[in-house]
Amino acid sequence: MNSACIDIRNLNVFYDGHTALKNISLSIPHRQITAIIGPSGCGKTTLLRSINRLIDFSDGVKVSGEILVDGQNILGPKADVTSLRKKIGLISQKPSPLPMSVYDNVAYGPRIHGMRDKKELDKTVRNCLETAGLWEELKDRLRTSATKLSVGQQQRLCLARSLAVKPEILLCDEPTSALDPVSSQNIENKLAELKKYYTIVIVTHNIHQAMRLADYVVHLYLGELVEYGPANEVFQKPKEDRTRAYINGTAFKELEIDSQINLKGKVCPLNFVFAKEALETRCREEWKPTARR
Amino acid sequence: MTVDQGNNIITLNTVSKKTIVSRRRLAELVSTRLMLAATAFVGALVLIIAIGLFLKARPILEANSLGELLFSSTWRPSRGEFGFFPFIMGTLWVTILAGLIAMPISILGALYLAEYAPKRISALMKPAIDLLAGIPPVVYGIWGLLALAIGGINIGFNVLTGGIVLAIMVIPVIMSVSEEVFRMVPQEIKEASLAIGATKWETAKNVVIRNSLPGLAAATILGFSRAFGETMAVLMVVGNIARVPSSVLDPAYPLTALIANNYGEMMSIPLYDSALLLAALILFLAVVFFNVAARLVLAKIQQRWA
Amino acid sequence: MHRRRVEEAIFKGLMIASITIVAGSLLSIVAILAWKGLPALNIAMVTQTPKGGYYLGKEGGILNAIVGSLYLATGATVLAFIISLMVALFLQREYIGKTRFAGLVRLSLDILWGIPSIVYGAFGFAIMLYMGIRASLLGGIIVLTLLEIPILTRALDEVVRMIPKDLKEASYALGTTRLETSFKVVARQALPGIITAVLLAFGRGIGDAASILFTAGYTDRIPTSLFDPVASLPLAIFFQLGTPFPEVQARAYASAVILLVIILSISIVSRLLTKRLARNTVK
Ligand SMILES: Nc1ncnc2c1ncn2[C@@H]1O[C@H](COP(=O)(O)OP(=O)(O)OP(=O)(O)O)[C@@H](O)[C@H]1O
Ligand SMILES: [Mg+2]
């Protein structure tokens, strides 16, 4: 049953000459949750955007290699990008509601793909909003502008909007980064349920979330694939030192964390704080760090 | 099991889905072609106009030498003498005077609105400037007539009147673009200057204006090309006498006014219509020259700034 | 220190003077037109076409010119909008993006924007002579369309380019085509800007005289077909002003008031609509 659903072969992505993904090869199994972990800026979003070709919209980007979805190379010239994107939904890191009402946001996809019947649309919208855990909150406000929702609500709305086109694969880029613990818990539960019907790829900075959810784990580091395999193996006995360092927050000599995690000025994930501290303690003699006294 | 179920759902809808997909694909294809056609048309329009004007102007270019056409001051169409010099000078005088008046006023005004003015005043001035930009040339012409040329100040029909009317017409164009450019200067840079003890004006002069130079250049070019091609408003107040003006108080006869006053009624005189289209061609080439030169200069400036 | 203060004061004074000049000229335009035009304004001006001897000071109005101008500007704006919207959307990244072709089209648009309207008029008339078309509503509409295309396309291009990228990507992620995203998301988000641009172009179309001086002709009747000549407000003003009779000249001022009122209403409508429509867009 674990037939591969997405097969990535020798994928390279360059932005204006600088390499964002180096020679990635992996297969993402059917109807499982695959988690992509790794420090900020390591290319997780880039990988997701390659899988549904949204990468086409980045400036100065060059992609080489193959991504096979159901045996067809979606990077090839003959790929039908439009139907590909319907099949592979992507929920982006930053929620982006379309400039229309809540209802129209969810109905946007189905309408475009040919659903006209009012009743059917109503049902789809309701189902999707329920799945995303928004129905109770918003059932009286379906006609208000989606841009007025809170960020967390927008995030869930984007999930509902993606579900509405009945994708087969869901790519979620940090779906819970804008949510409170309870809502994240809800989303996690939903994803665990949805796994029955969808192949799910999720990017997360939260190792515990990955441990709770993932069947498979992909660890990226500075654009390279470090380790990849079933979750229990990777989490329990990682083959790679760097993975162990990332998971346990223990030190690893080669980590140039400082420069890397501050790339985007983002708050670094908790385990990196550990990793950094460990690094400093261990290397104190050699490095003479300017750290706090 | 679940796999089959999923597949079932898809196969059930296959027929209707296929037609929808192909219809959508067709719409995409057709629309892309149409858009390409429209874009190609717009891209080619400049060429079409250039060729059309050139073909029409060719008879006179063959009959008279270019030097004579451009630099002779005798304009006697009935005798076949077509010297454009007075008209070219008329256009230059009026345009340059308008630019000289409009530029400082627009830039200082824009600076005031962007940096100094209380919110209430800039909120009030914005629609006023937009409105001023939207007033038709004929109305400006009437205003010039009643307020400057005969009534009011009574300075007569000359370069000065034309220049003032044109300046008032282009000020809103330059001012609104400049204001936008000034507002784009990041707050931090201004604060950095204020923090070392510069006054507001010194900051405006050394930081805001300097940072906005490319944008100001673009705004000025917009204003100049608008003034340069204006017909109706100028026509009504410059006097229209085909002599090279020697001061701002002399009347002038710009190229645009020449065409407007004579085209359409000149069929009987040989080469007259060709001469007027040559005037149009001169205006056209000047616009092309402006634009290409502006691009090169802006690219240079931006290169230096980047 | 003293010198710096003085410099600051001088320039601040100059700035305030500049703004005063701008505000003052607007007020002066409105005041002079009202003073000269309002006395001659009456209901007949806007409800009647010129009767015999109108240009000698007898009865009638300029309904022909008002209607003519509306016909001309509406026709031209509709045509120009269709073409310009296609071009502006085509200039988006996902169509031709930053290619050489796009650069050439933008240069071409800049040049077209700068071409004086009298040149459009002369060029249009030359073409019409060549093709044997008389000065007519159709001719006027075509030339005005050419005049409006660069104005509208540049404005729309600007508006379309301001659309957040995330928004388009959100739509593409659902498997939409470029056409669908362009019309359902881009055009929708850009709607306030589009309306402003269209009304701006309409205003330019209704106020321009030089381009239709030869191509639209002039008539005292309201045109009934595209091939009839048509009167227009700016030209009505111009011609009435050109008569030696003070009564008719006063009517020119009154016509200018009418034109100004139309322009003012366009500007007000534009403001109201944009405010209204901006509610649903992403900030
Ligand atoms: N459009 C772009 N142009 C140029 N470089 C880019 C672009 N998008 C991403 N990059 C670079 O590619 C690398 C990978 O970026 P990516 O967004 O995939 O990281 P990420 O793993 O998703 O990080 P985060 O966890 O912060 O979201 C980074 O170094 C980033 O700076
Ligand atoms: Mg990311």
Sheet with A18-29: strands ordered across? A72-73, A61-69, A4-15, A18-29, A224-230, A216-221, A33-37, A199-203, A169-173, A88-91
The domain of C19 spans 2-38
- φ, ψ at A23 (rounded to 5°): 50, 55
Asked whether residue C19 falls in the same domain as residue C118, the answer is no
Which helix or strand (DSSP H or E) is residue B282 part of?
helix B272-305
Of A11, A13, A18, A44, best ligand 1 pocket probe by most atoms within 8 Å of the beta carbon: A44
The answer to whether residues B233 and B211 touch, using CB atoms and an 8 Å cutoff, is no
Burial C115-136 (b: 16+ CB within 10 A, else e): bbbbbbbbbbbbbbbeeebebb
Predicted local distance difference test score (pLDDT) of residue C24: 95
Q: Whose CA is nearest to atom 23 of ligand 1?
A: A41
Distance CA C83, CA C89 (A): 10
Asked whether residue B25 falls in the same domain as residue B154, the answer is no
Query: At residue A268, does pLDDT exceed 60?
Result: no
Query: At residue A233, does pLDDT exceed 90?
Result: no
Query: At residue A71, does pLDDT exceed 70?
Result: yes
Query: At residue A149, does pLDDT exceed 80?
Result: yes
Sign, CA dihedral B82-B85-B87-B91, equals positive
Alpha helix stretches (DSSP H) within C60-136:
63-90, 100-114, 117-131
Q: What is the CA radius of gyration of chain A?
A: 20
Mean pLDDT of B62-76: 86
A44 CB within 6 A, ligand 1: yes
Asked whether residue B281 falls in the same domain as residue B149, the answer is yes
Torsion of CA C67, C73, C76, C79, to 10 degrees: -90
Query: For C43, which DSSP code?
Result: H
The domain of B54 spans 2-63
Residue ranges of C 142-181 with Cβ closer than 8 A to chain B: 146, 149-150, 153, 177-180
Residue B215 lies in a domain: yes
Contacts of C186 in chain A (CB under 8 A): none
Asked whether residue B199 falls in the same domain as residue B140, the answer is yes
**What's the CATH code of the domain at C62?**
1.10.3720.10
User: Which CATH number applies to A4-286?
Assistant: 3.40.50.300
Strands A33-37 and A216-221: parallel
Predicted local distance difference test score (pLDDT) of residue C70: 95
Query: At residue B173, does pLDDT exceed 90?
Result: yes
Mean pLDDT of A218-233: 89
Please provide the average confidence, as pLDDT, over all residues in chain B: 86
Query: At residue A259, does pLDDT exceed 50?
Result: no
What ipTM is given for this predicted complex? 0.91
Helix pair angle (C63-90, C191-207), 10° resolution: 140
- Residues in Cβ contact with A138 at an 8 Å cutoff, skipping those fewer than 6 apart: A102, A129, A149, A153
Given its phi and psi angles, is residue B28 left (phi above 0), alpha (psi -120 to 50 degrees) or beta? Answer: alpha
> For tokens 């310009």, what's the residue?
C84
Q: How many domains does chain C have?
A: 2
Distances (CA, A) of C207 to B250, C63, C233, C256, C266: 29, 16, 8, 10, 12
Residue B110 lies in a domain: yes
Q: How many domains does chain B have?
A: 2
**What's the CATH code of the domain at B190?**
1.10.3720.10
Of A83, A114, A166, the CB nearest to B16: A114
Asked whether residue C86 falls in the same domain as residue C150, the answer is yes
pLDDT profile of chain C (283 residues), mean per 10 = 82 94 95 91 84 75 91 97 95 85 92 94 91 90 96 94 89 90 90 92 93 89 90 92 88 93 92 79 60
Lowest-confidence segment of B86-90, B164-168, C7-11, C47-51 by average pLDDT: C47-51
| CA C62 to centroid of chain Cα atoms | 20
Cβ atoms < 10 Å from Cβ of B71: 12
Asked whether residue B151 falls in the same domain as residue B299, the answer is yes
Asked whether residue B59 falls in the same domain as residue B88, the answer is no
The two structure tokens encoding residue A115: 């659903």
Domain boundaries, chain A: 4-286
What one-character-per-residue DSSP string does C237-261 give? HHHHHHSS-HHHHHHHHHHHHHHHH
Q: Where are the beta strands (DSSP E) in chain A?
A: 4-15, 18-29, 33-37, 61-69, 72-73, 88-91, 169-173, 199-203, 216-221, 224-230
Asked whether residue C51 falls in the same domain as residue C13, the answer is no
Asked whether residue C87 falls in the same domain as residue C103, the answer is yes
CB–CB contact A168 B17 (8 Å): no
Query: At residue B6, does pLDDT exceed 70?
Result: no
